[in-house]
Structure formats: C-alpha cells, structure tokens
Amino acid sequence: MKIFVLHGPNLNLLGTREPEVYGAATLESINAMLEEEAKARGVELKTLQSNSEGELVSAIQEAASWADAVIINPAAYTHTSIALRDAISAVGTPTIEVHLSNIYAREEFRHHSLISPVAVGQVTGFGVEGYRLALLAALSLDDK
C-alpha cells in the first residue's frame, strides 16, 4: 500500500507556531513518526508540505497515479478551498482529513470544512496522535 501525506499552509512552522494550540512537535518529527509507523507496517509513504493551494491541487492530481490513499491536513484551506475539494473529488483517491486541533472547539470560521464531504473521514483534536490514527484508518481501507 502507498500513502501520500500532505501538509497545508503554515504547517512548516509547527514547533514554534502557537504551541498552545498545535503542540510542540515539528513537522519533521511528525513525518519521522509516520515514516516509522509506515515502515513497521510495510507501507510506502511519501510526504509533502506546501503553502501554495495550486501546488497542493497538483500534488493530489499527480498522486492519483500511484497513491492508494491520501492523508491531508489542509490547514487554513480546509475552510476556504473549493479547488482542493474539487481535486480530491475529481481523482477519487480515498482521502483522510486530519487536524491537530479540534476545529469545532475553536473560532466559528473553523467549524466548517469544505473537505469533509469528499473525505472518507476526519480526525480532529488529537494533536500528533491524529496522524497516527489517520494512518491506521488509511490501512483499514485496504480491507474494505
């Protein structure tokens, strides 16, 4: 199984960005944890972070030719990007949405996700653990 992990805007700043909201882990450490989990389970993993909406759209399109599942933290684009939603919907690769914080317990503008209706499911509010849960969820898709 091949899994593509996509990180959206400002997630490159994890570790220093509002640690009281997003925790102290860096993106590098999250990716390292995922790589380790994937390796232990014999899964191939590729990761990408981008601050650019277009780059994320292109990455989703390109991954359609090789990825069995996508794990995405769309960050702020969760709440704004019809383009990302359309890309996920267009390619049809099973996609799991992840948020470090519980978006429903935060500001009103974060309560709505444009991505959820085209995702298999959403993991929100469990910090870094959410990525591990998303990986397990992606693996379970293989049995479906």
Which residue do the tokens 């991954």 mark?
63
Q: Examine the residue annotation and report whether 22 is marked as an active-site residue of this protein.
A: yes
CA dist., res. 84 & res. 77, Å (int)? 8
Examine residue 78 and tell whether it contacts ligand DQA (CB under 6 A).
yes
The whole-angstrom separation of Cα 34 and Cα 131 is: 7
Tokens 């400002």 correspond to: 10
111 catalytic, yes or no?
no
Cα separation, 29 vs 125, in Å, equals: 18
- Is 85 a binding residue for ligand DQA by CB under 6 A? The answer is no
Establish if 113 lies at the interface with ligand DQA (CB under 6 A).
Answer: no
With respect to ligand DQA, which residue has the nearer C-beta, 11 or 139? 11
Q: Which stretch binds ligand DQA (CB under 6 A): 36-44, 60-68, 100-108, 135-143?
A: 100-108
Footprint of ligand DQA on residues 33-62 (CB under 6 A)?
Answer: none
In the bound state with ligand DQA, the residue whose beta carbon lies nearer, of 1 and 83, is 83
Give the tokens for residue 141. 């898709």
Neighbours of 133 (CB within 10 A): 15
Rg (CA), the chain: 14
Question: Which residue in 47, 49, 50, 73 binds ligand DQA (CB under 6 A)?
Answer: 73
Q: Looking at the annotation, which residues are catalytic? A: 22, 99
Contacting positions for ligand DQA (CB under 6 A): 10, 73, 75-76, 78, 99-101, 103, 110
